[in-house]
Amino acid sequence: MKLKTKILMGTAALALVGIAFATPILKLTIPILAMGTHNNPMSATGDYPVDGGYFKVALTTNRPASVVTQLGAFNVGGENGWHSHPGMVAVTLTAGQIAWYDENCHETIYSAGDTWFEGSQIHMFKNIGQTNVQLTAVFIVSQGAPLRLDQSAPACATALGLN
C-alpha cells in the first residue's frame, strides 16, 4: 500500500475515533494541496545578516519524514477542537481572525497575515470574526504518522465554554 494511502487511511481512522472521544471540529474544510516524503533524516539551516547580527533557522528530523501542505477554511463560528500534532506545523492565517488557546486556556488572537508554529502541545482555536477564516498549514511529521491527534478538553476549558 502506498504511503499516501496509509496516511489518508490513518487520518480517516483517527478522525472517526476523534468523533467519539474528543472535542468536535466544527464548520471546517481541510483539503490537502501537496504531500511528499523524504526517506532519510532531514537537516537544513539558513542564516541571513540582519542589523549587525544574523537571523538563523534550523530544522532537523531524526527519522524519515512526510511534509504535507493543507488548506483550512472555517465558517463563522467554526473551531478545530482540542488536539496536538506528532510533529511540527507552520500555520499562516490568510483571512479572518481566530482565538488560539493553549492547554492552560491562555488566549492568543491571530489575524490575517499572522504566522505561528504548533507542535505536540494541546491546543485549539475558533473563528471569532464575522467572516470565514482561511489558513495554510505545512506539517512535518514522521512518515506514516497522522497530521493531528485529537485530545480531550483540558480542565480549564469548561469554565470558558471551550469544550
Q: Using one digit for the tens of pLDDT, what is the confidence trace for 103-129?
A: 999 999 999 999 999 999 999 999 999
Instruction: Summarize pLDDT for 17-54 with one digit per residue, the tens.
Output: 343 345 666 666 778 999 999 999 999 999 999 999 99
Q: What is the pLDDT of residue 144?
A: 92
Range of the domain at 129: 3-160
Instruction: Summarize pLDDT for 78-96 with one digit per residue, the tens.
Output: 999 999 999 999 999 999 9
Looking at residue 65, its amino acid is A
Rounded to two decimals, what is the model's pTM?
Answer: 0.81
Q: CATH code at 127?
A: 2.60.120.10
Grid cell in block for residue 22: 474528543
Stretch 57-82: mean pLDDT, rounded? Answer: 95
Model confidence band, residue 15 (pLDDT cutoffs 50, 70, 90): very low
User: Going by DSSP bridges, is the β-strand pair 97-102/32-38 parallel, antiparallel, or unpaired?
Assistant: unpaired
Place of cell 537544513: 44
Reply yes or no on whether the pLDDT at 8 is more than 50: no
74 contacts: CB under 8 Å, gap ≥ 6: 26, 27, 28, 29, 80, 96, 98, 126, 127, 132, 133
**Distance of alpha carbon 14 from alpha carbon 11, whole angstroms:** 5
Q: What is the pLDDT of residue 22?
A: 56
**Distance of alpha carbon 75 from alpha carbon 134, whole angstroms:** 9
As beta bridge partners, residue 58 has 45
Q: What is the pLDDT of residue 84?
A: 97
Q: What is the pLDDT of residue 157?
A: 96
Domain count, the chain: 1
